[in-house]
Amino acid sequence: MIGRFAIDVFPSAVTVRGALVCLLVALTWIPDEAEARCSVSIDAGEARALAARIWRNESGGDFDKILWWNPGEAFASAGIGHFIWYPLGVRGPFHESFPELLAFLSSRSVPMPGWLEKDITRGSPWSTREEFLDQRNGPEASELQHFLIDTTPLQAEFMIARLESALDKIIAVVPADEARVIESRFCVLAAIPAGRYALVDYVNFKGEGTKLEERYAGQGWGLAQALEEMHGGLPANVDFAEAAARVLERRVRNAPAGNREQRWLRGWLRRVDSYRWD
């Protein structure tokens, strides 16, 4: 394993190392696998702020859409991060993150709706968007919606925990020379508030970029690809915003025509443009 990105979500957490420290990490690679490359602490206040921004990105912070099914998608979206939840028995090409959230909440001994607790890995009880909308006000959907609203702080912790493991996942599947570049850019971003927001949001938004199934024409669109696409100039968060936009534009160009992904591009670009600002 090459490096690690550590996050502590506690009010008393040690403050984040300065941007200069991580910049030095970016420029000087010490090939000691046991040494952590960058260490970042995100306190509870920043975690809540990040979660609120991501929730606005996903659904405008609308409580009614904390459990939703977007037109043109084959899965429900649950939680402030609109975590993917495929129907029972269905497995699609995109990373299914809602069962991972449920497992995280279970590890924290969070009481769940009885029907959900029986098997936290089960698929969503709705097979289609039409079925979901028809049962939108039914007992299962209503109970789940309230459960998601009540657990928003823990969902924020889950998103940060996912980022914590993202770098290791990426480094595990790329060549060593690429790993060095990716980690150095990651560390520079992780040293500034706008960069931490960009990292947490993009991993939640488009994944780590490590799944072979998440490719069009052999090219992915996750965090790994956005970091690879950076030029290394400008403020790091601006560089990342522009790189992510290019990656998403490439995804749309490579997507099968029947997916009609052009309809989503404008919103995607608006979202990654928000990475430019603190």
What is the tens place of the pLDDT at every residue in 183-201?
A: 999 999 999 999 999 999 9
- Structure confidence by residue, pLDDT tens digits, 132-185: 999 999 999 999 999 999 998 899 889 888 888 899 999 999 999 999 999 999
Q: What confidence tier does 2 reach under pLDDT thresholds 50, 70, 90?
A: very low
Q: In terms of DSSP bridges, do strands 76-78 and 83-85 run parallel, antiparallel, or are they unpaired?
A: antiparallel
**Range 150-170 burial, b when 16+ CB lie within 10 A, else e:** ebbebbbbbbbebbbebbebb
Whether 270 shows a pLDDT value over 70: the answer reads yes
Whether 18 shows a pLDDT value over 60: the answer reads no
How far, in Å, CA of 118 to CA of 137, rounded? 22
Domain boundaries, the chain: 59-153
Q: What confidence tier does 37 reach under pLDDT thresholds 50, 70, 90?
A: low
**244, 205 contact by CB (below 8 A):** no
Whether 21 shows a pLDDT value over 50: the answer reads no
Query: What per-residue confidence (pLDDT) applies to 39?
Result: 62
Query: What per-residue confidence (pLDDT) applies to 5?
Result: 39
Q: What is the mean pLDDT of the chain?
A: 84
**Least-confidence region, from 99-108, 115-124, 125-134:** 115-124
Torsion of CA 183, 186, 191, 195, to 10 degrees: 180
Secondary structure in 3-state letters for 83-140: EEECECCCCCCCCCCHHHHHHHHHHCCCCCCHHHHCCCCCCECCCCHHHHHHCCCCHH
